[in-house]
Chain A
Amino acid sequence: QQQVKQSPQSLIVQKGGIPIINCAYENTAFDYFPWYQQFPGKGPALLIAIRPDVSEKKEGRFTISFNKSAKQFSLHIMDSQPGDSATYFCAADIGLNSGYSTLTFGKGTMLLVSP
């Protein structure tokens, strides 16, 4: 079964809008939640990440909101630009205090920001 559920599958917003991508997880052992951004022809690249001991993290125009009790987290893109058009993947990692990383990804959201 899918351990990280991501929605929506695709999203179209106008320039300046605030797209929101949501993810939910079941496994309470997850302790690190990164978001990856992927442009066509490229591999996913780490965009921003959060640990479950904080409820929000902001880096530039990108913000993660985290709700530990609901086991949900979301990505907000403020003042979105056409250059933000990409596929976004949420992910969850287990064992922050252990030696090894294993990422579990959502299915991805294709974002199109129209000019």
Chain B
Amino acid sequence: EAGVTQFPSHSVIEKGQTVTLRCDPISGHDNLYWYRRVMGKEIKFLLHFVKESKQDESGMPNNRFLAERTGGTYSTLKVQPAELEDSGVYFCASSQDTTFRPDTQYFGPGTRLTVL
């Protein structure tokens, strides 16, 4: 079974540009999460999808970040326009079903974003 995949693995952009990150969760997983780790800091929650609906987006830093999950499959996270402080590693995670808690979150390898 394929794990969580993320694309691209690295992205280097200039301040003011737009970047779109993609996450493909494990097939059949209803829950999809986005996290971010700024260098030396903790992994921080950004938002949580249940199928195509945003369940919790309390961690989104500001309105420059837009996450979508059309059709309840893959998800994209767009940053527009990017700022220097957006640099970090963006992780996506998925879990099958939160009916029986706790549900294990499976993480992708992350996208390392560098904003110059």
Contacts and interface: CB of A to CB of B under 8 A. Distances in A.
Interface in A13-48: 32, 34, 36, 41-46
A102 B44 CA distance: 10
**Highest count of chain B CB atoms <10 Å: which of A36, A43, A107:** A43
A11 to B, nearest CB: 16
Contacts of B98: 99-101
Nearest to B102: A32
Interface string A81-115: 00000000100010111111111111110000000
A42 B107 CA distance: 9
Contacts, number: 70
Interface string A40-83: 01111110010000000000000000000000000000000000
Given A100-B55, A101-B103, A102-B48, A43 B42 contact: no
A107 B40 contact: yes
B99 A43 contact: no
Contacts of A100: 48, 50, 55-56, 98
**Interface residues of A, dominant DSSP:** loop
B91 A101 contact: no
B73 interface: no
A42 B5 CA distance: 11
B43 interface: yes
B105 interface: yes
Nearest to B43: A105
B105 A103 contact: yes
A49 B102 contact: yes
B40 to A, nearest CB: 7
A48 to B, nearest CB: 11
A95 B101 CA distance: 9
B91 A44 contact: yes
What are the 9 closest A-B residue pairs judged by CB atoms, nearest first? Answer: A43-B107, A105-B43, A105-B42, A107-B42, A44-B107, A43-B109, A99-B98, A32-B102, A43-B108
